[in-house]
Amino acid sequence: MDLLGVPNKLFYIFYNQLKRGNGNGLLFLATRPIHLLARK
């Protein structure tokens, strides 16, 4: 099992989304669980 493979893939996808201008959408998806947890 390649432990570095998964984070590298996620970073690559994240970087490509940022280049396309979809960074705000990813930021929203990343922070949404935090907001949901903070509500409890």
Overall pTM > 0.75: no
The C-alpha torsion from 26 through 30 and 31 to 37, rounded to 10°, is 150
pLDDT 10s digits, 20-39 = 776 566 677 777 777 677 77
* Average pLDDT across the chain, whole number: 72
Residue 12 in contact with residue 4, Cβ under 8 Å? no
Picking from 18, 38, 34, the residue whose alpha carbon sits closest to that of residue 26 is 18
- Between 29 and 40, name the one with better pLDDT: 29
- Listed in sequence order, the residues at least 6 apart from 18 whose beta carbon sits closer than 8 Å to its beta carbon are 26
Distance between CA 17 and CA 24 in Å, rounded? 9
Give the model's confidence band at 12: pLDDT under 50 very low, under 70 low, under 90 confident, else very high: confident
- pLDDT at 24 (0 to 100): 67
